[in-house]
Amino acid sequence: MNLDLSPDELAFQEEVRAWLAANVPAEPLPSMDTAEGFVAHQAWEAKLAEARLAVVSWPRELGGRDASLVEWVIFEEEYYRAGAPGRVSQNGIFLLAPIVFDHGTPEQQARFLPSMGSGEKVWAQAWSEPEAGSDLASLRSTATRDEERGGWVLNGQKTWSSRATYAHWGFGLFRSDPSAQRHHGLTYFLFPLDAPGITVRPIAQLDGEAGFAELFFDDVFVPDSDVLGAPGDGWRVAMSTAGNERGLSLRSPGRFCAAADRLVDLWKERGAQAPEVRDRVVDAWIKAQAYRLYTWGTVTRLKDGGEMGAAGSVNKVFWSELDIDLHEAGLDLLGADAELAETRWMDGYVFALSGPIYAGTNEIQRNIVAERILGLPREPKGVQR
């Protein structure tokens, strides 16, 4: 058992660290959920891509570096330590790209991945519907076959679609076989958000910014070439995204360790005025370290050919609660100043509050942990529509 990095890994770490030190903007960019901030974040992505640092784990020919999982974790650690901007391309590069690699045709890979990796095209996810949240398989939006034009016609409504206000493309599931139930008869579609028939209605989030949107589909035509995986196989295809989202790829330890280090710095500054916050500072730091070490365990297992599986749910509950713990401790240290809306701690806190809800609520994750890891009996299902 050891956590030593190889000479190549150390060299990679050094290169990333030096590049970030020279290039990370001194002032934080405006929020990516504003028109101005969105463009600024896209420009940052382009700069990252130019240095081949936007998607390090992708193949070279698609703009990456073929980085190993260990190198990816190193990259993320350095990225957040350097205080670099949030990733506006996150939904595409972390959630959709793994599926395009696994299920996309070579033509789709060549058409979609380069502009996704460079941040030129930003992708939004379209999973939830007004009546299908945690129970995603009850979704009602439809895809009707159009043989004449060689494609499908989408109708219905999606909601809580992150980044959709300013994004260029969307991805989501639609019911393509009306006679099939639940997980069957669903198809995975890719669609430009400016396609005729799509209406995007921004929704202001808790902090007032339009971080997500509602999408209305009125006879939206999607050609066969924009179906991901086989028609009817959408659930299976999509579930690999869900595993990615709640597991490793969306939440690297780097961001939490960086926040924990900032929390310790804040304690040095403010601790004397708020000694009662001590235990929360220490516990948040310990948990961030636990997450870092746990991740190295996961990386080791994946390197050995293991799978994330239901452990992704263990991971998701932990990081989402850790994120809130870290920021609550920071706000408590700030005392009355915590209320000042523009502080980095308040920003981070409001963002962290969404963690236990998105990517599968923590209640759903606890069900998965209880049923698939502890082996407890499944909850009897309610009446099905």
Nearer residue to another protein within complex by CB, 228 or 368: 368
Burial group, residue 290, by CB count within 10 angstroms (0-12, 13-18, 19+) = middle
CA dist 117 and 98 (Å) reads 12
How many residues comprise the chain?
Answer: 385
Tell me which DSSP letter residue 213 carries.
E
With contacts defined by CB under 8 A, name the span among 168-176, 187-195, 196-204, 278-286 that binds another protein.
278-286
What is the 8-class DSSP label of residue 382? -
CB crowding 181-205: b at 16 or more within 10 Å, else e: eeeebbbbbbbebeeeebebebeeb
Rg (CA), the chain: 21
User: Least distance (Å) from another protein to the CB of residue 41?
Assistant: 32
- Closer Cβ to another protein, 200 or 368, answer by number: 368
Is there binding between residue 286 and another protein (CB under 8 A)? yes
Strands 186-192 and 227-228 come out as antiparallel
Q: Is 379 in the site for another protein (CB under 8 A)?
A: yes
Shortest distance in whole angstroms from residue 326 CB to another protein = 14
Interaction of residue 223 with another protein, rule CB under 8 A: no
Q: Give the active site residue among 214, 245, 321, 371.
A: 245
Q: Which is nearer to another protein, 378 or 385 (CB)?
A: 378
DSSP 141-189: -EEEEETTTTEEEEEEEEEEEETTTT-SEEEEEEE--TTS-TTSSEEEE
CB of 18 vs another protein, minimal distance in Å:
21
363 lies in the site for another protein, by CB under 8 A: yes
- Dist. CA 164–CA 172, nearest whole Å: 12
Interface with another protein includes 369 (CB under 8 A)?
Answer: yes
| Smallest distance from another protein to CB 58, Å | 21
**H or E element, residue 341:** none
Tokens linked to 364: 């759903």
Q: How far is the CB of 4 from another protein (least distance, A)?
A: 6
Asked if residue 11 binds another protein (CB under 8 A), the reply is no
Query: Is 245 tagged catalytic?
Result: yes
Residues 295-314 that bind another protein (CB under 8 A): 296-297, 299-301, 304, 311, 314
Check binding of 258 to another protein (CB under 8 A).
Answer: no
- Contacting residues toward another protein, per CB under 8 A: 1-6, 9, 70, 264, 267-268, 271, 278-279, 281-283, 285-287, 289-291, 293-294, 296-297, 299-301, 304, 311, 314, 317-318, 363, 365-367, 369-371, 373-380
Q: Tell me the catalytic residues.
A: 245
